[in-house]
Amino acid sequence: MKTSDVDDHLAIPARLAIVASLALGQRLTFTGLREQTGLADGNLHVQTRRLLGAGYLLGERVRVGGRSVTRFELTERGRLAFLELIRRLREAAEGPFGSGRTGTAVGTGSGGGATGTSPRPRERSRVW
């Protein structure tokens, strides 16, 4: 999989979490998205604005209990981009063998060398 295969709008973990939270077709308020994603208000605000600008989200102001709240939903364009990303990730995970399975789950088995300890976990990429 090449970096060009990943949609730039969904390559940011916060945006991916927002889109995934809305992927089942529900509408969520700003507060609901904050609870679902665990993002801070400022980060959620910035990332929803970027997704709105890209046409991946629709946002509307509605009155609830005398207050105005913003409610978000995924657009068809956003849904299709999310599904395409999932398709590409599955394709990459399956690799040339087609099933994506090698007989053991990742991180299982001895794999620790002579001492029998588990291998050191990989450090997360700091590219993002």
Q: Higher model confidence: residue 112 or residue 51?
A: 51
Q: Tokens 């809305």: give the residue.
A: 22
Mean pLDDT of 67-85: 93
Say what the pLDDT of residue 5 is: 67
Mean pLDDT of 107-121: 47
| Upper half-sphere CA count for residue 97 (Cβ side, 13 Å) | 7
- Over pLDDT 70: what percentage of the chain? 70
CA distance 124 to 128: 10
Q: Please determine, for residue 21, whether its predicted confidence score (pLDDT) is greater than 60.
A: yes
| Spatial strand order in the sheet of 28-29 | 28-29, 67-74, 57-64
pTM value?
0.70
In three-state secondary structure terms, 79 is helix
Q: What is the CATH number of domain 3-93?
A: 1.10.10.10
Closest CA to 19 of 60, 62, 61, 51: 51
Q: Please determine, for residue 42, whether its predicted confidence score (pLDDT) is greater than 60.
A: yes
Sequence spans of domains, the chain: 3-93
Q: What confidence category does residue 128 fall into, taking pLDDT thresholds of 50, 70 and 90?
A: very low
Closest CA to 70 of 10, 18, 116: 18
